[in-house]
Amino acid sequence: MTENLNVINPDIPSDYESLKARISTLSDSMPKRLLQCARYALANPDRIALGTTAEIASAAGVQPSTLVRFAQTLGFDGFSQMQQIFQGQLVGRNSEYTERLTKIRESGANTPGSILSSFAERSKQSLDELVRQIDTNAMQSAIDMLTGAETIHLLGLRRAYPVVSYLHYTLGKMGVHTNLLEGTGGILEERLQFISEKDALFVSTFSPYSPEVVELASKAFGRGVSVIALTDSVLSPIARVSSTVLEVNEAEHGAFRSLSTTMCLATSIAVAVGDARKWTSLS
C-alpha cells in the first residue's frame, strides 16, 4: 500500500477534473514521450482506467516505465495511484451522489431531514440506474402482454402489495380490466381457476420472496398464462416462472428500502399500457 502522506498531499489530484487540469498545465514543459502519454490519456481515459501498463504503453507507443514516469510527473507515487482517478471517473455519475451522501452522513445524526435527504439521494441514484439498466425489450414485451390481455390479474404481498394495488388503481382508472388478488394460502390458490389463458398475470415479489406468490405464478405459468414479473434480481425465484422479468434495484438507507424507483417503473408501465389500449380500442 501507499503511504498515508498521500492523503494529505495537496500535490495529488483527487478527481478526474483536477487531473485533467494538471495535465494541461504541465503539458507545455513535457518532453516528447510524456506528451505522448498525456495525449493518449486524455483521449482514452477508459483504457487507462482498465488496462495494464503493458497494454496501455504499447497502445500509446511508449514504454511501460514511461507511463510510470508520467504518473510521477503529475504528482502520483506511480501508475496505479493515477489509475484510480481514471477508474473513479468511469464509475461516473454515481460519484456525485456518493459525494452528497457522505456530506449528509457527516453533517449529523438521524434527524428527520437527514433521513429524508438520504432516501431522496439514493432514490435519485436508483432512478438513474433504472433508466440506464432497464431492458427495453422486456419492458416492451411486458406492455404487449398486458395490452393484449383480457383481464390483468395483479399479485403481490408485503412490500410488493402497494405496487400492485397502485397498478390496480391506475389501470382501473384508464378503463383496463384488472383483478387484484388478495388473501394468503388456500384462499389465494382458489383464485387460480379464474385466471384464463387469455389473461395476463402481473406478479411482484422482493427478497425475501413470498413462496405463495411464486407458487401461484408458477402454476399459472404452467397453464400457459402470460406472467410478467417485477422483482429485484434475476436470481429471484419468480424469474424462472415468468414470461418476462422486469428488474429494479430499489434505493435503500441502512436496512430499509423505499419504493420510489419501483413505483416509477410501475407507473410508466401503467401509462404505456393505457396508451396502447386506447389505440387498439379505437381501431
Partner DNA sequence: TCACAAGTGGAATATTTATTCAAAATAGAA
Partner DNA sequence: TTCTATTTTGAATAAATATTCCACTTGTGA
Q: Which does 1 bind (CB under 5 to 8 A by kind): a second copy, DNA, none?
A: DNA
8 Å CB contact between 91 and 27: no
79 binds DNA (CB under 7 A): yes
Q: How many residues does the chain have?
A: 283
Whole-Å CA distances, 135 to 78, 122, 141, 246, 248: 40, 21, 10, 7, 10
**Which of DNA, a second copy, none is residue 78 near (CB under 5 to 8 Å by kind)?**
DNA
Q: What is the DSSP string of 182-208?
A: ---HHHHHHHGGG--TTSEEEEEE-SS
Q: Which is nearer to a second copy, 136 or 281 (CB)?
A: 136
CA distance 69 to 2: 17
Residue 155's binding partner among a second copy, DNA, none (Cβ under 5 to 8 angstroms by kind) is none
Measured from the CB atom, the residue of 2 and 280 that comes closer to DNA is 2
Which of 4, 32, 92, 255 contacts DNA by CB under 7 A? 32
**Binder among 77, 182, 189, 212 for DNA (CB under 7 A):** 77
SS3 state of residue 257: strand
CA nearest neighbour of 6 among 102, 76, 109, 91: 76
Using the rule CB under 7 A, is 62 a contact of DNA?
yes
Q: What is the DSSP letter of 9?
A: -
* Contact (CB, 8 A) for 173 and 198: no
Between the CA atoms of 71, 74, 77 and 80, what dihedral angle is there, to the nearest 10 degrees? -40
| Terminal Cα distance for the chain, rounded | 69
Q: Does 58 bind DNA (CB under 7 A)?
A: no
Q: Is there binding between residue 81 and DNA (CB under 7 A)?
A: yes
Question: Looking at 80, 196, 207, 280, which residue binds DNA (CB under 7 A)?
Answer: 80
The answer to whether residue 54 forms part of the interface with DNA (CB under 7 A) is yes
Partner in contact with 153, chosen from a second copy, DNA, none, beta carbon below 5 to 8 Å by kind: none
Please report whether residue 46 would count as binding DNA according to CB under 7 A.
Answer: no
Q: Which stretch binds DNA (CB under 7 A): 64-72, 102-110, 208-216, 233-241?
A: 64-72
- If binding is defined by CB under 7 A, does position 59 make contact with DNA? no
- In whole angstroms, the minimum distance from the beta carbon of 252 to a second copy comes to 10
How many CB atoms lie under 10 A from the CB of residue 61?
A: 11
Closer to a second copy by Cβ: residue 158 or 223: 158
Size of the site for DNA (CB under 7 A): 26
Q: What is the dihedral of CA 255, 259, 260, 265, to 10 degrees?
A: 130
Cβ-based nearer residue to DNA, 33 or 219:
33
Return the range that interacts with DNA (CB under 7 A); candidates 66-74, 108-116, 126-134, 249-257. 66-74
